[in-house]
Amino acid sequence: MMTKARFPADRPGSLLNRLRDIGAALGFGALGLGLIGQQDAQALSRIKDLAAIEGVRENQLVGYGLVTGLNGTGDTLNNCPMTRQSLQAMMERLGVNTRQANMRTANVAAVMVTANLVAFATQGTRLDVTVSAMCDSKSLQGATLLATPLLGADGEVYAVAQGSLAISGFSAEGDAAKITRGVPTVGRIANGALIEREVDFRLNHLQNLRLSLRNPDLTTARRIAAAINDFLGADSAEPTDPSTVAVQVPRNFQGNMIRLLTEVEQLRVEPDQRARVVVDERSGIIVMGKDVKVSQVAVAQGNLTVTITEQPEVSQPEPFSRGQTVVVPRTGVRVDTDDKKKLAIVKDSVSLRELVDGLNALGVGPRDLISILQAIKSAGALQADIEVM
């Protein structure tokens, strides 16, 4: 009878099995390092998201026009002389004289038309436009915008808008009730404007490039310049101020700015920001940056509540007496000083989470927390700027 030989490598705890365990451990260790590196990469931001290219921008357009086709919800011509004048001028251009006519239509409304001319938009392409009522029109439901020229800041016409409006809101009313949802006096026309003029800007012929930071910061600007220099292998980028990084186009990218920008905008850097606490007292919203720190302080929070109740009593005289019926006041006063709320210590915070936990330990609401943060700032223990919106 033949038996299978048991090699030392098959024994538990043998050298080969220990090597296998070490290899598996190293594999898991490499996987852990890969996950850590992936988390660090996710904390970085692209230059494309941190800065804009100077000259590559939108231009705002505005125009004045008329909408027609309203179901009796248009402007009242007696109350809106601009609507009357615009309607008469338009009819005269079409060969109809209405100067002596008494127009009473309620199906026309004067509107403002706005749009954003995107960068490098070519002639013949289309834009989305927003249309809003100017006078006493109740709704633009079912309206059609007549041809409206859209002007830029230089007074030139860059697009012409026309089309049917799409309204998200509505309004309905009866004799004793009214329902309004959304804003029925504002509409939008998708692809409603046709571009007639282009903005002349030759990006590919630039010799110098300037990046404008969306959130100006000295450290972030320096890191962006360093990342660009490391990629190009030369000192071509230099921060000129907290919001601008100037880049000298290298020779191998001369005449091919698009290739340079597509490479530069994908570089990743870690943005920096100063410690700031943003407070909106109207809504009670508090937003803190990750670098907000608080030195160790003791905070006590309590509200003085005074409650006054009136319970008047009627005092009547005995029967057949000469007394009078009088009202005797009975007033109750109670004072609550929140004796249960004692002094609490907010320790030195090394992270935003610990700071939030320390402030939440006080058991106060957002509005009281706003006053506490302002008091801590006045005491010099809050190492951040407070910005009140």
Sequential pLDDT tens for the chain (389 residues) = 444 444 344 444 444 454 455 444 444 444 444 444 444 555 789 999 999 988 888 999 999 999 999 988 899 988 888 998 899 888 888 888 877 777 788 899 999 999 999 988 899 999 999 999 999 998 898 899 999 999 999 999 999 999 999 988 766 666 667 777 778 899 999 999 999 998 888 887 788 889 999 999 999 999 999 999 999 988 889 999 999 999 998 888 887 888 888 899 999 999 988 888 888 877 878 888 777 877 777 776 665 455 556 677 777 777 777 777 777 777 666 655 555 555 566 566 555 667 677 667 767 777 777 887 888 888 888 888 888 87
Going from N- to C-terminal start, the domains of the chain cover: 59-195, 203-269, 276-316+324-388
> Long-range contacts made by residues 332-335, C-beta under 8 angstroms, separation at least 24?
332/307, 332/308, 333/306, 333/307, 333/308, 334/306, 334/307, 334/309, 335/304, 335/305, 335/306, 335/307
Quote the DSSP letter at residue 363. Answer: -
Is the separation of the CB atoms in 118 and 128 below 8 Å?
A: no
CA 337 to chain centre: 41
pTM metric for this prediction: 0.66
Top-tier CATH class for 203-269: alpha beta
Q: Is the dihedral of CA 247, 248, 251, 256 positive or negative?
A: positive
Collapse the DSSP code of 377 into the 3-class scheme (helix H, G, I; strand E, B; otherwise coil) and give the result.
Answer: helix
What pLDDT does 218 receive? 92
> Long-range contacts made by residues 234-241, C-beta under 8 angstroms, separation at least 24?
241/216
